[in-house]
Structure 1
């Protein structure tokens, strides 16, 4: 039987890793983006599926030099993805497959100078989010840039959206974007409004803890999880977003990324600068039935939004041995998880979900 965890040395620190989407099947490819190098790189890797030859190796099939650190990678369909840079721009690429198992990255659109300081040419684009072909980018300049994959010119820029660096962003709805900053301020932006002021503002917690990453529940988008720079997980019900539902002590250091399984959202995965990759399993609790005291109607209860006592029963497992370098990114495809680290390796973990 092949090992559950298979590592591949890639010769660069990998900041982001994403499975290439496939219809109804295991993905055979993933894309990585490096950081902290004189010349950073986007790379496409061919990876054996679980039913392939267990001795088959992960092979690089395409590579392209990239200016600046790769700060985010997101696919918008099965061929096109967006990469953002610490040099303040974002690019839309298409993967074109050639003969003999080779491929190349075809550059479709470049959005230059999305983020820049007044006293220099550019500043880091710290993240991006997508809703179909609509795109939002954020940066250290506190700006939000709104784009579409259908044209080069930005749709809108919200200058001075924040007075300090923005660290994470996501679409709550097609017309609502949430941002989190270095001081733990969370803001919701109504994109239908022409105002450059947020519709709602709230805090992660009582302390000024940076919001390092954010994700939402795949089927209950009102449920939001935010990773903190102190390793915490903060849970919100965005129908009542004045105060968090709870704050959980989690990793020992900053939470790098959070991912719900897209088809089985009772499984959440997290990675951290402390070198851990964790699997949060609520499958024995999810969709549990409780009864309202005022009626006989049953209510489906999400464990993340339930009582503190229920949260203490969430099963938390380590998916692989602890690394001695930060784990920067992860992604999940069917029962396989992929993660990347500053130790210049990527790891594919099979059977993370039984």
Structure 2
């Protein structure tokens, strides 16, 4: 199902793309974070509509030069965002309108080189997660750092949270985070507990397949979907994590990012290194339905095969498969943005969101 797709060539690879929040949930502004440039950047964009709705042109409002590759970006609100780098640093950026009508991006706080290896070489800050003013970062160095946006110092460091690269992290409660590493181990850390040991751990699958991304259900944070380097999606109920709820054979290559629709959490979006962008639906009129993450409706055997869940999901391709990785997606109502390695950004407009 190919939607209303608007592609724009921008001459750089995009690793993260995020809608700027709007009080009326109708944002026309977004940021991109580049990678693999001699000089990377955070750019703030807006859309200009032509006379025909088919003509939509993004244009740059402001450019902020950035050291290293952008590895993650999240808005706190419409004026502030947090961005992490491949050099192990985390930035707290502010977007302001000047008296002359211009827009400025300034650095409010910098936690410099908080991820580094034992020889002091910089380590990628691979991921971070936000809960109100708290930010918890994960790195290639296996370290977890706890930050607060009101404090310039690192509040806590779990030096050896893992012996290999941590690829993804998400809050499951205000006091607990879930991490995924390059060997497929998932670990839950209680931030109230001293020491480096997790309170719980389990394997993503039977093999040592790296976890690449995590997303929690908007209404049920104990329900988490993990993407892996083989392209599969695994659904977990963290209240009973001996086995996954669902194991979905999905993309043909590594899953880059997963997002639930914030207003319609029975619908999910995923993208991959194989250049695929998919829309997962469980409540489409006329379909067999089924709850995406309702454990009580699942069979007694938690390891459900792909065949047994075919009638519970409908998956739609939002645009033709690209020949380069789609690294990042973001949602706003019925619009999806994606950033890619083919040096283009795409807006998919008027996506069919079934309610």
1 CA distance for matches of 2:342 and 2:100?
30
- Superposed displacement of residue 123, structure 1: 1.0
User: Could you say what secondary structure the match of 2:189 adopts?
Assistant: strand
Match of residue 332 from structure 2? 333
Match of residue 199 from structure 2? 199
| Counterparts of residues 1-354 of structure 1 (less than 5 Å) | 4-48=4-48, 55-98=55-98, 102-284=102-284, 301-303=291-293, 305=295, 306-307=298-299, 308=304, 311-313=309-311, 314-354=313-353
2 CA distance for matches of 1:35 and 1:100?
31
- Superposed displacement of residue 304, structure 1: 6.1
User: Could you say what secondary structure the match of 1:128 adopts?
Assistant: strand
What TM-score do the two structures reach when normalised by structure 1? 0.91
2 CA distance for matches of 1:48 and 1:101?
17
Q: How many residues align?
A: 341
CA 310–91 in structure 1, closer or farther in 2 if over 3 Å, else same:
same
Q: Deviations over 1:134-166 (max 9, x none)?
A: 001111110000001111101100001000000
2 CA distance for matches of 1:4 and 1:19?
18
Higher mean alpha-carbon deviation, 116-125 vs 212-221, is at 116-125
2 CA distance for matches of 1:187 and 1:126?
16
- Superposed displacement of residue 76, structure 1: 1.1
Contact 2:282 2:292 in 1 (8 A): no
Contact 1:128 1:169 in 2 (8 A): yes
1 CA distance for matches of 2:253 and 2:99?
44
User: Could you say what secondary structure the match of 1:352 adopts?
Assistant: coil
User: Could you say what secondary structure the match of 2:239 adopts?
Assistant: helix
1 CA distance for matches of 2:294 and 2:339?
27
Q: Deviations over 1:270-299 (max 9, x none)?
A: 0000000000011248xx99xxxxxxxxxx
What TM-score do the two structures reach when normalised by structure 2? 0.91
Contact 1:235 1:304 in 2 (8 A): no
Contact 2:81 2:94 in 1 (8 A): yes
Contact 1:304 1:311 in 2 (8 A): no
Contact 1:10 1:344 in 2 (8 A): yes
Higher mean alpha-carbon deviation, 117-126 vs 141-150, is at 117-126
- Please tell me the root mean square deviation across aligned C-alpha atoms, in Å: 2.2
Contact 1:28 1:49 in 2 (8 A): no
Relative contact order, higher structure (CA 8 A, sep 6+): 2
Higher mean alpha-carbon deviation, 206-215 vs 191-200, is at 191-200
CA 50–228 in structure 1, closer or farther in 2 if over 3 Å, else same:
farther
For structure 1, the residue ranges without an aligned partner over 5 or more in a row are 290-299
1 CA distance for matches of 2:204 and 2:229?
11
Higher mean alpha-carbon deviation, 120-129 vs 342-351, is at 120-129
Contact 1:214 1:226 in 2 (8 A): yes
Contact 2:7 2:346 in 1 (8 A): yes
Match of residue 292 from structure 1? none
